[in-house]
Amino acid sequence: MTSLNNFFLSLISPELHGQLFWLKVVFCLIALYFLFGIFYFGWRGKYFQDRRRHMIFWRDYKEEFAASHRHEKKWIEIEQLLRSELSADHKRAVIEAGHLFEKVLEAAGGGSGDLEVKIRRVIIEPDFDFDQLKKTHLLWRDVVNNPERPLTKPQAQEAVDVYHQTLELLKYF
């Protein structure tokens, strides 16, 4: 037991620490050199900037579209408007669905350009019917720009269905 005590006492003795002082300095300098290298090459290689941009995008995307309950609630409101007998409610349902689609498309990274270019950036499905969505989106723009435009219930139902299918592909639901 005394030899074990003597060993630990020699490890904490000031004489040993004095002899190993330069070795500690060398190891600290090597550690600082590698730490500096990590930050230098990480910054120079834009690793931290790309990583930060990626984290900000997903944080914003999750904040805006994270709660599926909220999504279902919004879509239930649109479907209730569609069940109404008033033409104005049908128009409002199409307008709400179109605004929701635009919002989700922008958040998903659609970017700029015409509708087909934005969609092709985000949806890779080979079976996706771009023409149907384009026709629906033109109807939406026409209803938004011309509130007097007549809209039948079947037209509104078809437009909302197309938006629903597209939002499913965009992982909104």
Burial grade of 164 (CB within 10 A; 0-12, 13-18, 19 or more): middle
Strand, coil or helix: 127: coil
What pTM was estimated for this model as a whole? 0.58
Q: pLDDT digit string (tens) for 30-48?
A: 999 999 988 888 777 766 6
pLDDT on residue 7? 81
Ranges under pLDDT 70 in the chain:
1, 46-70, 110-111, 173
Q: pLDDT digit string (tens) for 46-67?
A: 666 665 555 555 555 555 554 4
**Measured distance CA(40)–CA(34) in Å, rounded:** 10
pLDDT on residue 169? 80
